[in-house]
Amino acid sequence: MIEGRLSVAVEQAGYKDFHEYVDAALSDKSGNMVNFLITKLTTNFTYFMREETHYRFLTEHALPEWTAKIKDRDLRTWSAGCSSGEEAYTAAITIMEFLGSAKNSWDTTVLATDISPRVLAAAKEGIYQAGHLKGLPSHLHNKYFIKQDEQNYRVSPQLAKQVIFAPLNLMDPFRFKRKFHIIFCRNVMIYFDNDTNRKLVAKFYDVLEQGGYLIIGLSETLSGRSDQFANISPSIYRK
d(CA 185, CA 90): 14
User: In terms of Cα–Cα distance, which of 113, 162, 111, 132 is closest to 46?
Assistant: 132
Q: What is the pLDDT of residues 100-117, one digit of tens each?
A: 999 999 999 999 999 999
d(CA 7, CA 164): 35
In angstroms, how far apart are the furthest CA atoms of the chain?
62
How confident is the model at residue 50, as a pLDDT? 81
Radius of gyration (Cα) for the chain, nearest Å? Answer: 19
Angle (nearest 5°) at CA 165 between 191 and 128: 80
User: Cβ(110)–Cβ(215) under 8 Å?
Assistant: no
Residue 39: helix, strand or coil by DSSP?
helix
> pTM for this one?
0.83
Angle (nearest 5°) at CA 189 between 89 and 3: 105
Residue 95 or 35, more confident:
95
Residue type, 88: A
Residues forming beta bridges with residue 146, ordered by sequence position: 154
Number of H helices and number of E strands within the chain?
10, 10
Residue 153: helix, strand or coil by DSSP?
strand
d(CA 94, CA 75): 13
Read off the pLDDT of each residue in 210-221 and give the average, rounded to a whole number: 94
How confident is the model at residue 214, as a pLDDT? 98
* DSSP β-ladder status, 110-114 and 77-80: parallel
Q: Is the pLDDT of residue 191 over 90?
A: no
How confident is the model at residue 45, as a pLDDT? 57
Reported for 149-152, long-range contacts at CB under 8 A and 24+ positions apart, including other chains, are 152/127, 152/128
Domains, the chain, ranges and CATH? Answer: 2-41 (no CATH), 53-126+158-238 (3.40.50.150)
Q: What is the pLDDT of residues 30-65, one digit of tens each?
A: 878 877 777 677 665 566 888 899 999 999 999 999
